[in-house]
Chains A and B, each alone.
Chain A
Amino acid sequence: MEEIIRITGLNKYFELHNQNKRIRGCQDINLTLHSGGFVGITGRSGSGKSTILKCIYRTYLPKKGIIWYQSQIYGEIDLAQATERQVIHLRKQEIGYVSQFLHVMPRTTAREIVEQAVLDVGYDIGYARTEAVNILRHFELDEGLWDTYPNTFSGGEKLRLNIASAMVKKPRLLLLDEPTASLDHESKKNVKVLLEKLKNEGTSMIGIFHDLEFMEGVCDREFAMETGDFVI
């Protein structure tokens, strides 16, 4: 199977100029993900798991290394060096990111958030509406909440909406940063079902999960991290 991501010698540290300090993020990370594959990353808090995902998504600027990605719109591209506009297009059309936190435009309803995610990929409003309803239903988000603002939602409801808006795009690459951390058992099961479905449809995934039981059966490979490095 073809590779979709190949990370070579990834290094990230944070230089805090005003405190004259350098904080280590991750170092010498090498990782390969095949198309349709699922790599899980485990490790203690602060070990640098999220740093890797944020470097791939370019929320963090890598200091060294190559993040080779097989893109549909650009062909082979090094995400560490990609231009800002290229990253914006990739985020809208190919790469999804789910974190524990929901960052959305205030005063935007749950339905609009999910619809917008589909529109960003380039689909029309009719398709976006249908897909939004399907996925909100799948995640069993109370129908009474669909046309309300998420700031009134519980933590679990926000998280389900967050995952729904990332998954509805059926991204080519999905980055999952502890998305199930505060979900109840039933919601976790729903996430797992959808992850398996996406995987079967060809989405490649890199995920961070504290819940090792959850990872079983979903992940093809697992990496354990210890203060910035992989321990295999």
Chain B
Amino acid sequence: MHQQERPLLTIKNLNKQFGCGCSHCRDTQGHNLEDNYCPVCGTVYACRNVSLKVYPAEILGVVGESGSGKSTLLRCLYFDQDSTSGEGYIHGYNEGRTNIFTETSQQKNYIRNHLLGMVYQNPYLGLRMNFSSVGNIAEKLIGAGNRKVDFMAARAQELLAAVNIPTYRMKEAPEKFSGGMQQRVQIAKALSNNPPLLLLDEVTTGLDLSVQANVLDLIKVIQRDLKIGMIVVSHDLAVIRMLTDRTIVMLNGRIIEHGLTDQVLEDPQHAYTQQLVYSLL
């Protein structure tokens, strides 16, 4: 009989707001908001009671329109932004017993450097554009406690080769690369510490079709060969259909629907998801 599965990541009631809130918007379950914005005090409720689980070697898709809270969710998970409230547990950290959002900055850095990888839509956020590609990867490895130059150089070369960066260009700075190459260097950097969880934020947006295809292939290979769990944020339903088994749909900071990806796309339940699916397919 099947054993109970342990999630790699569990998020419970994650909230992120920009602004302090006021009596008009606080504790009203969002009834007084315009979408996710308080017209009185200007507070934006970017993530509201977001709960989700990611299992080992699984790719979870997150879809929704611009401003729905998808990227904020990832940035809270990667500690780029502090969450306002909520709980998060990673299986590889204190056996999933400690809320990662209430940890010290030092511990958050540890989690980020050892257990997470992040690929941003904008490579400028994930790479040091004037460092060499090898240097970018070494930076992440140093963050994870590595000090051996030979090891770091070899690891960087191995990863850059895996993402198809030609050997003779590995020492070049990403600022000289095309958008697709920059994304691939970002992916190599994110993978360098063998994270069990990879966060991918609109990684194919803005790339031309053939470059997009290369990046998608690479993600699928990583999932298949390295068995890494991933959260893939995208507003492109074709990308979600291709990569993911399960999908959540966000609107105005909330998860309004979740399900098996084929079910969400073929039998959407929520009015917004129906509108999204019927307009794009």
Interface residues of B (CB under 8 A from A): 1-2, 5, 55, 58, 213, 216-217, 220, 224, 242, 245-246, 258-260, 262-263, 266-267, 269-271, 274-275, 278
Contact = CB atoms under 8 A, between A and B. Distances in A.
A75 B1 CA distance: 7
Contact of B217 (A58, A74, A107): A107
Given A54-B266, A74-B2, A106-B213, A87 B271 contact: no
Given A59-B262, A89-B2, A18 B245 contact: no
A60 interface: yes
Interface of A: 14-18, 54, 58-61, 73-75, 84-85, 87-89, 105-107, 116
A105 B259 contact: no
A105 B1 CA distance: 31
Nearest to B55: A85
B1 A74 contact: yes
A18 B274 contact: yes
Nearest to B220: A105
B1 A88 contact: no
A60 B267 contact: yes
B1 A17 contact: no
Contacts of A107: 213, 217
Contacts of B274: 16-18
Contacts of B220: 105
A73 B1 contact: yes
A107 B270 CA distance: 33
Contacts of B213: 106-107
A58 B224 CA distance: 24
30 contacts: A14-B267, A16-B274, A17-B271, A17-B274, A18-B271, A18-B275, A18-B278, A58-B260, A58-B263, A59-B260, A59-B262, A59-B263, A59-B266, A61-B259, A61-B267, A61-B269, A73-B2, A74-B1, A74-B2, A75-B1, A84-B259, A85-B5, A87-B260, A88-B245, A88-B246, A88-B260, A105-B242, A106-B242, A107-B213, A107-B217
